[in-house]
Amino acid sequence: MGTALIGDPGGPSLLLDARRNLDAAFTEREREDHGLIGLLPDGIESMEVQLDRARAQFADQPSDLAKYQFLSALQDRQERLFYALLRSDFQRFMPIVYTPTVGEACQRFGHMMRRPKGMYISTRRRGHIAKVLRNWPVKDVRFIVVTDGERILGLGDQGVCGMGIPLGKLALYTACAGVPPEVTLPIVIDVGTNNEAFLIDPLYPGIRQRRIEGEEYLSLIDEFVDAVQATFPDCCIQFEDFTNRNAIPLLNRYRERVCCFNDDIQGTASVAVAGLFGACRLAGTTLSQQTILFQGAGNAAVGIADLFVKELVARGMAFKDALDRCWFVNSRGLVCAGMPRLPEYLTRYAHSLDAVSIPEGAVAGPDSPMTSLADCIEAIRPTVIVGVSAVAHAFSETVVRAMARLNDRPIIFPLSNPTNKSECTAEEAIKWSGGRAIVATGSPFAPLHFGGRLFVPGQGNNVYIYPAVGMAVYASRARRVTDEMFLCAAESLARQTTDHDLSVGLIYPPVGSIFETSVQVAVDVARLIFESGLAREEHPVDIAEFVRAKVYFPEF
């Protein structure tokens, strides 16, 4: 699927146009028509031959970061081949394009820069953001992934070097769910950085100032959102990797006014709830029987809790009872009633401890009667622990063994990424629980054998959700994105986990089949969009056929 291009479409300019370049796959007639004779070797190659060469070149790279750079260069040179390569083996290529390798790529972004990608909108463009957006050569942009770079994965403030995240996210929109790449636009809003290393690094490519905050920051984001509506009226905005103090307020500020969502909040929630559906099937329990203890109390944790509560209420549980099934541990200890300085979005989860038995010898802090996760487990007796804190090794052997002692099938989700920020490894969770834990991790871990059984850890990665929701929004031209869409996505994803998957502990469909899985999720979400009256497209006779007809295939 192509798009209108500016400039001479033939000769050398065609070979430099990544979207249209087929390299040695141009036919003899195409070479004649476009003035390519002599600019390429005379051999004419199929896509499969080019894929074989790309795989060999990829394998020759000496490190994961070098592999990332190779794929980035391939995307710049020959876009269709890049996407065909990703789809040929998601298990192999996805950890390079996105987590965990993208984290290292962001840290090194300023030193690796070659060809500019996406758009950069700094505080210096205040008052002129709409004009800046019009510099983008494609006029029908349907998706923007935007970050201010302040909380990149578990790495903290990466400033404009956080561009690796929108680039990776949008590549997976296309590879996993078929959103056409020409309708996507990655953006970094450069409001400065508080990363001292970047401020003194001569190769840091952003503005060298500390971050703006408060009303000054908010007015810039307001201008950006309004400029997107004016410039790309059918565009959906995905907010990505904003810090806790901004993410939820920004989502609440815009979600009823424009088509937008926050993947860290809603996408993470959806994939986690889908994992809980699968875990309950595997354990022979129900969602209503679960009590969750979160290690971490930021955007992701609250997003998961909110969607979990929404599902429990939909199943008939009273709202207050559903809230009581969610507990949080933050950097100050167990979140409870009376804890000072809680953000507003967390206060509904600050429960009374009247009915909780605090373990003898529990270590108290100035703001909480329990600061140890292990003590909190003994007091709350959760069936599920979810790690979204980016605190490596937070799920210690003591913690996992406590969960295994209290539950026949403890559900353990160390979801933080990159890998070196994971609360525990899949192997640790399985071994320390005697093979009884049901595990989903944020980063990929290899299958393992324990106790004579094969275990295949499920990766609770948002990539199962946001590309599919994106495809549904693209196909239907949805006016808004709602939490119900993410709940629908979770249910659709869970339905596609087979009994065979569950038999090896895999609570998500295999990553290798993610394209087929994502398209089906997109169909189900699109059906909800049409039924809810949120689509700007006319209701099709066959929604599945309608969505599948819009899927991008990187063929030539």
First and final C-alpha spacing in the chain: 10
Crossing angle of helices 90-97 and 79-88, in 10° steps, is 120
Q: What are phi and psi of 203, to 5 degrees?
A: -100, 5
Across-strand partners of 324?
A: none
Does residue 68 carry a catalytic annotation? no
Question: Which residue among 98, 204, 508, 552 is the active-site one?
Answer: 98
Listed in sequence order, the DSSP H helices in 393-513 are: 397-406, 426-432, 466-476, 483-495, 499-503
- The DSSP symbol for 39 reads T
CA-CA distance, 136 to 116, in Å (whole number)?
12
Question: Which residue among 68, 83, 120, 169 is the active-site one?
Answer: 169
**Strand locations in 211-313, DSSP E?**
236-239, 260-262, 292-295
Cβ-proximal residues to 216 (8 Å cutoff; 6+ apart), any chain:
none
Q: Closest by alpha carbon to 326, among 342, 340, 312?
A: 312
Q: Closest by alpha carbon to 330, among 343, 319, 317?
A: 343
Q: What are phi and psi of 399, to 5 degrees?
A: -65, -50
549 with 211: CB under 8 angstroms?
A: no
Alpha-carbon radius of gyration of the chain: 24
Crossing angle of helices 299-314 and 268-283, in 10° steps, is 50
Catalytically active residues are 98, 169
